[in-house]
Structure 1
Amino acid sequence: MRILVLGVGKTGKLVAEIAAEHGHSVHVLDAKENKDAAALTPPFVAGFDVVIDFTTPEAVISNMRAVLATGGKMVVGTTGWYEKLADMSSLADRRGASLLYGTNYSIGVQITMELAKRMTDALKNFGYTFSISETHHTSKLDSPSGTALTLRDVVAAELPADTAVTITAHRIGDAAGIHTLEAESSSDKLLLTHESKSRRSFAEGAVRAAEWLAEQKPAVYNFRDVYDKV
């Protein structure tokens, strides 16, 4: 399979390495080579089976517009752009493109989301309050993280509409990512924590997602809905 990786940050580099390990042909574009998505012309995009984006919230919208307009297939691991999700989904639908997006491509994180749902549902009627803390590296641009926001949505969906679920964000060193759901009552406290030891789980999940997407009919997919299929 021919894969185009957009972004040569720490995760983007690892995505390219893992895609090559999987036997795929990989081409990488950095920000200088693809300013304002200028490199993503229709003939260029047509040369790849799937495009994987791990860039920045500022760059990803232009990249999506360029790729989806060609009817291409795109896996987006960049976060911080979801206010434009409806627009990008509409573009994909109109052009017969495929878009797979997600706040986190780690299978462990997806299992954590399922456990969080069960934990909240089991405790919500016993006087517990729920909060989330997250820690990432200092160069992460969005705060709170997309994963923390998704975790909050999962928890909030099990609670009354007016229930607050606070998020505390920390930026420390080169931390790959720690997310903790805390449920506290007057008598005890429960903690559900996912700690990333490296970015490899994110990159591996993104490559598997690209492999899966390449075989699907054009549509818009949330990784949370398909992680168990990749």
Structure 2
Amino acid sequence: MNIALLGYGRMGKTIEKIATDRGHTIVLKVDKDDKEYDLSAADVAIDFSIPSAAVENITNCFNAGVPIVSGTTGWLDHYDHIISLCNAKKGGFIYASNYSLGVNLFFELNKKLAKMMSPIEGYDIHIEEIHHTQKLDAPSGTAITLAEGIIENTDKNGWQLDKGDEKNIPIVAKRIENIPGTHTVTYTSQVDDIEIKHTAHNRQGFALGAVVAAEWLCGKTGVFDMKDVLGL
């Protein structure tokens, strides 16, 4: 499989190693300052760029007929437009806030716990996420996905950064050197706490999941997510 890497920072370099170890070829590496590039040799693209470049990268792939796996967060104000464009161009697209196989299992556990907790009175919910200081968006896309999973299964209406209220889940975002990613969902009452937590030890899990998603997407058209890739 010939892969175009759109974004060649730390995640891009980790994806490159895992992809080549799995027998794939990197035919294009686009760094943050590269404005023009040729996708004609690529079977699939993987985008881990920056929020300001993601929409253009995804659009370029649809126009070139190259399916794309996007792991960039912070651009979702344009999500509906991108989905419409994908369908119009008959493109192939996967977006996930986090490609770690463990995190995607954690997403499902979070939904299950929220559904169980919904009828129980006396618990407040909050989310905390910790990432490295180079992460540009806050809260993380993973934390937002966790909040959305809770909102779907409770009477919460939304989420708020740092401070929540009765109808909105507070998300506390911390930035600490050399932390790949930690996400904690806590239900707190006067008598006890219930907590689920995912801690990433390195970037390998994120990168592996993105390559697995690209392998699955190659040759397909439509809009998918990691539940499709993992059969969840």
Deviation at 1:161, TM superposition (A): 4.4
Amino acid at match of 1:30: D
Q: For residues 81 and 104 of structure 2, what CA distance do their matches in structure 1 show?
A: 25
State the number of aligned residues: 221
Deviation at 1:229, TM superposition (A): 3.9
Q: Is the 8 A contact 1:132 1:152 kept in 2?
A: yes
1:110-189 aligned at under 5 Å gives the runs 110-127=104-121, 128-162=123-157, 163-189=167-193
Amino acid at match of 2:154: L
Amino acid at match of 2:210: A
User: Residues 160-201 of structure 1, C-alpha deviation per residue, up to 9 Å, x if partnerless?
Assistant: 144321100000001000000001112100110000000100
Which residue does 2:161 correspond to in 1?
none
Q: From 44, 48, 52, give the equivalent of 1:50.
A: 44
Which residue does 1:79 correspond to in 2?
73
Q: For residues 227 and 194 of structure 1, what CA distance do their matches in structure 2 show?
A: 20
* Gap runs ≥5 in structure 2: 158-166
Amino acid at match of 2:32: A
2:97 corresponds to 1:103: yes
* Gap runs ≥5 in structure 1: none
Q: Is the 8 A contact 2:156 2:169 kept in 1?
A: no
Q: Is the 8 A contact 2:180 2:200 kept in 1?
A: yes
2:215 corresponds to 1:220: no
Deviation at 1:132, TM superposition (A): 0.2
* SS of match in other structure, 1:165: strand
Which residue does 2:16 correspond to in 1?
16
Q: Is the 8 A contact 1:78 1:103 kept in 2?
A: yes
Which residue does 1:26 correspond to in 2?
26
Q: Is the 8 A contact 2:132 2:178 kept in 1?
A: yes
Q: For residues 156 and 142 of structure 2, what CA distance do their matches in structure 1 show?
A: 21
Q: For residues 105 and 229 of structure 1, what CA distance do their matches in structure 2 show?
A: 14
**Percent identity (aligned):** 35
Q: Is the 8 A contact 1:92 1:99 kept in 2?
A: yes
Deviation at 1:222, TM superposition (A): 2.1
Deviation at 1:91, TM superposition (A): 1.1
Q: Is the 8 A contact 2:97 2:142 kept in 1?
A: yes
Tell me how large the CA RMSD over aligned residues is.
1.4
Moved over 6 A (4+): none
Which residue does 1:7 correspond to in 2?
7
Q: For residues 102 and 217 of structure 2, what CA distance do their matches in structure 1 show?
A: 20
Q: Is the 8 A contact 1:110 1:227 kept in 2?
A: no
